[in-house]
Chain A
């Protein structure tokens, strides 16, 4: 038994220590907003925040994050997170939507570190895959989120 701190709650987990965080979130805790896309840290659909940093939860064993504060899309709060979600709606970003929780987690972590990213910063930091090809709207929405946040 391991205890994890997820979205501000301490939760006891019944799973082997090498279980990836992704599957504990999805199967043990029903936090299904975090998606499975590849399982090998390649697509970013499973992105969560571990102590504020974006991490690909499919490749993080729970033993590694026992001491950390984990935030999933369900627990995303605060001005940055809200601005990103609002910008995503205003720019009508999602198509199928499957990659978007991971995108939003990756982008909100970026904006905490780099509050006003250039296009190049975005290209470097946001390497998540969107099969529907929403990248141009993602870029627009990131810039809009910056504006919404400064206005807030």
Chain B
């Protein structure tokens, strides 16, 4: 099945529905339609009653909450359960998180808005035809995904609404049962109570009747002053199992009759397997078979260690001519060449920085910064377990998007979405790596060679480091001029790097447009808060042959470093204290100033640092949080740096769980 035919009828209907007006409704609900209970109802067992898209209650009072987000250490299972618990008037401990089925109702609209290459309001993303198409396709296929610090931002409102809706339905069911007005009943500690008739009933007793009611389209949420969960400290529900060793990560999945795969991958990117000789390992203990893919060979055996031993012994020659001359120097030379061209894509523009700078002569400040490729290096190496039959696929894997895995499974095993199930486990780190489907697709291919039998592929640490989708290298050049007061008059920032979203989108949907604006690559450079009369930020997309992807904080990971370093250079040139210098350019930015002022105080900035100690400051906003840090270091005569203290101030908006 070609990728372009992945728009099954169902997806097409969803997409069509949303395009034709549904989109506004979806966004009004924060993108997730609480009353759509059919998907969750499909998972209900006997005596389990589905109240809405997120809440099921059993007749013995167990409350299950559909969780669409992957738990990789950020505490999201706890956070989402807290939101439901608040409105449903129960303790978080009384809720069982349950993996949500794959359905558009659980889509992460925020990640699509933030990541896909179209304007989100504060960037100057152009509405190209490709970008427009991605917006529609991406948003409307309903991709479930975890990343980009979006989970709480996206699901806060729908989860709270889900809890409130369920509460209202339980109240209605109780009122009907006792023939009293619903307005006289209230929920408390897992019960609905009617004081004047002295009636009370548990949620378990009311669940069936409540599940037969129409789901209210409008509910009232608790007032902030009535909250007893949101904004308080809640121990994380995943932690007890993580200290006993019981928590199940992908690599721990164990199924009857399972076989294990270890893999040797072509060491150069894009290289292929030329020759391999299975006969050399045929007699090794436990070895079942070698399976070849285009760029890799796996050995499948009855234990991982045996598979790994055998794949190491397996003679394989690769055609590694393609990209064999790729080098770090070569890549940075390309970046340099790109920056010389006058065809960057502008993402932020005010005034006319170029002409101010070209008239400024020798007084302008310049700086160049660069950053290397970085691996995600999740503590849990990439792994996947799958069973492929002629008609179905079942996948267990630690992942940040089960929707994307389902797509890949449908394609490789040639089955419909209905016949694919994806089980998510805890992730031993994700950082953006586990939104990729490369390891999953390898596993599915190996599993096709063992139809009906579970195959578990584990990448070694060496596989994992050598075949990542890396944080791209990037090269930044800055030019600026200061006025007589030491304020920035003109600021021009050019960054050359590959476009991250473009690389990702093309891996997933090869038909997607090649030349699209990409906010993720310029985030933290295009949207800096500083007020400069003339400002220009341009990106020079420079494709590289190294696979790249989303890596913890994405564009911010290098742009914050670039811009804040250059701010310091300018402060030094202006002979103004670095905090004061930032303040000079933030007159309109109350939130930034508040962080900066607090940071100045908490770090004792105005007191001189101890002898031989140096302090530096950085201020940055990403994903809706403003962070300021002061770092105090000393440097030994042989240039060894000792970190003495970091003072950190963060304004992350409303806090959901104080304990995280």
Contacts and interface: CB of A to CB of B under 8 A. Distances in A.
Interface of A: 15-16, 19-20, 23, 26-28, 30-40, 43, 45, 72-74, 85, 88-89, 92-101, 104, 129-132
A30 B254 contact: yes
A60 to B, nearest CB: 13
Contacts of A94: 73, 236, 238-239, 242-243
Task: List 4 A-B pairs, minimum CB-CB distance, nearest first.
Answer: A33-B245, A98-B428, A95-B73, A97-B242
Nearest to A105: B245
Contacts of A20: 305
B239 A92 contact: yes
A56 B207 CA distance: 50
Nearest to A84: B243
Given A35-B428, A72-B245, A95 B74 contact: yes
A96 B251 CA distance: 13
Contacts of B190: none
Contact of B245 (A23, A32, A132): A32
Interface in B249-263: 249, 251-252, 254, 260
Contacts of A130: 379
> SS class of chain A's interface: helix, strand, loop or mixed?
loop
A98 B243 CA distance: 10
Contacts of A32: 245, 248, 251-252, 254
Contacts of B245: 31-34, 72-74, 101
Contact of A96 (B246, B260, B305, B426): B426
B460 interface: yes
A89 B238 CA distance: 10
The residue among A32, A38, A98 with the most chain B CB atoms within 10 A of its own CB is: A98
A33 B246 CA distance: 6
A36 to B, nearest CB: 6
Contact of B243 (A15, A19, A89): A89
B379 A98 contact: yes
21 contacts: A15-B303, A19-B305, A20-B305, A27-B260, A32-B254, A34-B245, A37-B380, A37-B381, A38-B461, A73-B245, A85-B243, A88-B239, A89-B239, A92-B235, A96-B378, A97-B242, A98-B249, A101-B245, A104-B243, A131-B379, A132-B429
Contacts of B303: 15, 19, 23, 27-28
Nearest to A31: B245
Given A16-B285, A32-B248, A97-B73, 10 more contacts: A19-B303, A26-B252, A28-B303, A32-B254, A96-B378, A97-B238, A97-B239, A97-B247, A98-B428, A132-B429
A12 to B, nearest CB: 15
Contacts of A74: 244-245
Contact of B460 (A35, A39, A95, A132): A39
A36 B262 CA distance: 14
Contacts of A40: 461
Contacts of A28: 303
Contacts of A132: 73, 379, 429
Given A39-B460, A73-B244, A89-B240, A98 B305 contact: no
B304 interface: yes
B652 to A, nearest CB: 17
Contacts of B460: 39
A88 B377 CA distance: 24
A104 B427 CA distance: 19
A36 B239 contact: no
B243 A96 contact: no
A34 B245 CA distance: 7
B305 A88 contact: no
Interface string B200-233: 0000000000000000000000000000000000
B105 interface: no
A16 B302 CA distance: 13
Nearest to A40: B461
Contacts of B427: 96
Nearest to B430: A96
Nearest to A45: B379
A26 B253 CA distance: 10
Contact of B251 (A19, A35, A72, A95): A35
B293 interface: no
A131 B244 contact: no
Interface residues of B, number: 41
A45 B249 CA distance: 13
Contact of A36 (B238, B243, B458): B458
B357 interface: no
B72 interface: yes
Contacts of A45: 379
B659 interface: yes
Nearest to B254: A30
Contacts of B248: 32
A39 B243 contact: no
A141 to B, nearest CB: 10
B254 A97 contact: no
B382 to A, nearest CB: 12
A94 B426 CA distance: 12
Nearest to B72: A96
The residue among A19, A35, A89, A96 with the most chain B CB atoms within 10 A of its own CB is: A96
Nearest to B456: A27
Contacts of B260: 27
Nearest to B258: A27
A23 B379 CA distance: 17
Contact of B244 (A16, A39, A85): A85
A129 B461 CA distance: 14
A23 B252 contact: no
A129 B379 contact: yes
A36 B381 contact: yes
The residue among A19, A32, A101 with the most chain B CB atoms within 10 A of its own CB is: A32
Given A96-B426, A132-B379, A37 B461 contact: yes
Contact of A100 (B75, B235, B243, B381): B243
Given A30-B254, A101-B245, A96 B380 contact: yes
Nearest to A30: B254
A115 B249 CA distance: 32
Contact of B429 (A26, A27, A96): A96
A121 B303 CA distance: 38
A131 B72 CA distance: 12
B243 A99 contact: no
The residue among A20, A72, A97 with the most chain B CB atoms within 10 A of its own CB is: A97
A129 B244 CA distance: 18
A96 B76 CA distance: 11
Nearest to B460: A39
A97 B246 contact: no
B429 A131 contact: yes
B305 A97 contact: no
A97 B304 CA distance: 22
A124 B239 CA distance: 26
B224 to A, nearest CB: 25
Contact of B304 (A27, A31, A73, A92): A27
Nearest to A94: B242
